[in-house]
Amino acid sequence: MKKILSITMLLMFSIVVHAQQDVTQFLGIPIDGNKKEMVRKLKEKGYQNDPMSEALVGEFNGANVNVFVVTNNNKVCRIMVADANNVDERAIQIRFNRLCEQFAHNPKYVSLQDYTIPEDEDISYEISVHKKRYEAVFYQQPTDTVTVREKLRSVLLSKYTEEQLANPTEETQSEIIKLSTEYLMEDWSKRPVWFMISDYYGKYYITMFYDNEYNRANGEDL
């Protein structure tokens, strides 16, 4: 049992952190700071102004896209990436499932379920009649493993002594795993990256969202 606990804790140590500086990234750019600076950094990546809108245009993951920078209280909180071209039902199913596969196999991300659309799914019917929303949510893993150990250890030491952590009872082991899991879920929730199928007069496109939940509105302005 202690060996299982050690493995579990090692996994937790390798992925859990709760630090403002370890925010969601888009193309390696932290989603933070002001809009002007973010736009400058995106242009350095090759994106250009769209003269017809506030979007930046360019290529992302093999597709032509429109990129939008969203702010809250003058801080960047979201990068929205929308396909520039609309496609038919079968094409969007393939694209959606391909994205699910790419994220699932990317070690930078974790997910809690499989969002793949079944081959025989009638997407247009489900959207138009049942108002079904096709979306997939993934979470960026943190990069600061040093803070991982410090923060998680601090959480555990707030409830247990050094001796209890070194020689845990079965009950303590279960509680440690529970606390670590809760801490992990809270941390992941701050760095969601998700995408959905959007429709436009019978055609479809993918919209992706890279969110920094630290900067999102939480009712503080109400």
Q: CA 208, CA 84: separation in Å to the nearest integer?
A: 12
Report the pLDDT value the prediction gives residue 21, as an integer from 0 to 100.
59
Neighbours of 195 (CB within 10 A): 24
Split into its structural domains, the chain has a count of: 1
For the segment 34-57, the average pLDDT, to the nearest whole number, is 96
Closest CA to 139 of 190, 180, 99: 190
pLDDT at 17 over 80: no
Residue 148: inside a domain: yes
% of the chain beyond a pLDDT of 70: 88
As a whole number, the mean pLDDT across the chain is: 88
pLDDT band at 56 (very low <50, low <70, confident <90, very high): very high
Residue 218: inside a domain: no
| Best mean pLDDT range from 11-15, 96-100, 160-164, 165-169 | 96-100
3-state secondary structure the chain: CHHHHHHHHHHHHHHCCCCCCCCCEECCEECCCCHHHHHHHHHHCCCEECCCCCCEEEEECCEEEEEEEEEECCEEEEEEEEECCCECHHHHHHHHHHHHHHHHCCCCEECCCCCCCCCCCCHHHHHHCCCCCCEEEEEECCCCHHHHHHHHHHHHHCCCCHHHHHCCCHHHHHHHHHHHHHHHHHHHCCCEEEEEEEEECCEEEEEEEEECCCCCCCCCCC
Residue 19: inside a domain: yes
Q: CA 26, CA 50: separation in Å to the nearest integer?
A: 19
For the segment 170-180, the average pLDDT, to the nearest whole number, is 84
Report the residue count for the chain: 222
Range of the domain at 13: 2-211
* One-letter amino acid for residue 201 of the chain: Y
Helices 2-15 and 145-157 sit at what angle, rounded to 10 degrees? Answer: 130
Among 10-19, 115-124, 187-196, the minimum mean pLDDT is found in: 10-19
Beta-bridge partner residues of 208: 81, 195
Closest CA to 26 of 66, 67, 57: 67
Question: Are the CB atoms for 35 and 76 separated by under 8 Å?
Answer: yes
Neighbours of 152 (CB within 10 A): 22
Closest CA to 156 of 144, 168, 143: 168
At 184-216, the pLDDT tens digits run: 788 888 999 999 999 999 999 999 999 999 999
For the segment 45-72, the average pLDDT, to the nearest whole number, is 96
Largest Cα–Cα distance of the chain, in whole Å? 65
Report the pLDDT value the prediction gives residue 132, as an integer from 0 to 100.
96
pLDDT at 54 over 70: yes
* One-letter amino acid for residue 128 of the chain: S
Residue 221: inside a domain: no
